[in-house]
Amino acid sequence: MKHWLIYIHGGFFALILWAAPLYAQPLIDGHILEQIDIASGDDDKFLIIRGILSPKLLSSVQLLQEDPLHPTIVIPNGMTNNLILPEVTSFKPGDIIEKVGIEEEIQEDGRGNLRFRSNLHLTSRLPIVLSLDKSRTTAGQMVFLILEKGGAGQIAAEDTSINGMPSLPLLSDNAEMPKQPGMSKMEMKEPDKMLLHPISAMMVFRRPSVLNLSILNASPRKEAAQRLAILLDRHQRKFLEDRLDMRLHISNISSIREQMTLSKTKIYFRPNYLTTALALATVIPGEQVVEEMSLERRGRLGLDVEIYVGANFE
């Protein structure tokens, strides 16, 4: 028993001795690897390394692809979380990669600083070429595109060799991804600058205290707009004002061109007035159609919501 205690204490002491210089290291950014997965897109397969990653160090990741059945991913400043990530990760029989073995290296640079490196040794069922998919790589995952060597989508990637050491330097932060014919990308196109993301729009929007409403008759019945105005003003005002937290102001009641009739009442709203328009739709009798105002309509002064009273308004 005593022997065991000595071993435990000794081990703990050794750990402290080992950890002390480590703890005294200057701040070194790095990656913590926690999980390795394979994912498939429509035509593409990906190797995903999940964990806490440092995007600025991605340029130092290296691919050793001399042997297309056994490529190696070298991740400098990469440590594995041994509690989560096993030494060997095996995949299903149908997956292109059979297994990934992890080898951790700790080196001293001669000035007392420790350097970490994780080497991921892949065993593939078919000859493959890996490339870092920078567009999908984030601070939470490092994504490698797996291309079958000789397949239609294979990139013309050749290992570069420095001092006899084969290594394929990965893309630097400023480097462009090589064109890969036949590849599909999952990322979204650049959004149209005209359209704000709804959450940004919500944050930017300053909700006014008054809701300016216009009611127009697009029904064959005379005075339909007026009747709706009376309904909203006399019977629904309190409900709407309480619900919308805005003062209701009907700024216009009129008719549109005689020939222009709408079968259903339409409610047009400015951006950020969706809830307002829906609240109005719930209190107006009949069936309504709620749409965002076109750019042309938005140019009209003093209006937040426009209601075109249709033929279905009773």
The distance of closest approach from Cβ of residue 194 to another protein in the complex, given in angstroms and rounded to an integer, is 6
The distance of closest approach from Cβ of residue 46 to another protein in the complex, given in angstroms and rounded to an integer, is 13
Q: Can you give the length of the chain in residues?
A: 314
What element of type H or E holds 225? helix 224-230
Determine which residue in the list 35, 90, 138, 172 makes contact with another protein, applying CB under 8 A: 138
Residue 130 near residue 71 (C-beta atoms within 8 A): yes
Cα Rg of the chain (Å, integer): 32
Binding-site size, another protein (CB under 8 A): 82
Structure-token pair, residue 89: 């990760």
Q: Is 111 in the site for another protein (CB under 8 A)?
A: no
C-alpha span between 16 and 22 (Å, rounded) = 10
C-alpha span between 58 and 203 (Å, rounded) = 34
Q: Is 298 in the site for another protein (CB under 8 A)?
A: yes
> What is 124-171 written as a DSSP string?
ESS-EEEEE-TTT--SSEEEEEEEETTSTT------EEETTEEEEE--
> Which of left, alpha, beta for 112 (phi over 0: left; psi -120 to 50: alpha)?
left
Nearer to another protein, 106 or 230 (CB): 106
Nearer to another protein, 64 or 262 (CB): 262
Interface region with another protein, contact rule CB under 8 A, candidates 123-131, 150-158, 231-239, 296-304: 296-304
Site string for another protein, 167-186 (x = CB under 8 A): -----------------xxx
Interface region with another protein, contact rule CB under 8 A, candidates 62-70, 168-176, 225-233, 257-265: 257-265
Interface region with another protein, contact rule CB under 8 A, candidates 165-173, 223-231, 232-240, 285-293: 285-293
Q: Is 199 in the site for another protein (CB under 8 A)?
A: yes
Determine which residue in the list 83, 156, 162, 188 makes contact with another protein, applying CB under 8 A: 188
C-alpha span between 66 and 64 (Å, rounded) = 6
Q: Is 274 in the site for another protein (CB under 8 A)?
A: yes
Interface region with another protein, contact rule CB under 8 A, candidates 174-182, 219-227, 228-236, 286-294: 286-294
User: How deeply is 85 buried, as exposed, middle or buried, from its count of CB atoms within 10 A (0-12, 13-18, 19+)?
Assistant: buried
Site string for another protein, 37-56 (x = CB under 8 A): ----xx---------xx---
C-alpha span between 130 and 143 (Å, rounded) = 10
C-alpha span between 52 and 49 (Å, rounded) = 10
Interface region with another protein, contact rule CB under 8 A, candidates 159-167, 168-176, 199-207, 232-240: 199-207
CA neighbor of 213 nearest in space, from 242, 243, 263, 254? 254
Question: Which residues in the 225-254 window bind another protein by CB under 8 A?
Answer: 245-246
Determine which residue in the list 67, 105, 108, 287 makes contact with another protein, applying CB under 8 A: 287
Q: Is 197 in the site for another protein (CB under 8 A)?
A: yes
CA neighbor of 208 nearest in space, from 120, 291, 276, 260? 276
Dmax over Cα atoms in the chain, in whole Å? 102
Q: Is 84 in the site for another protein (CB under 8 A)?
A: no
Interface region with another protein, contact rule CB under 8 A, candidates 1-9, 65-73, 150-158, 273-281: 273-281
Determine which residue in the list 10, 11, 150, 302 makes contact with another protein, applying CB under 8 A: 302
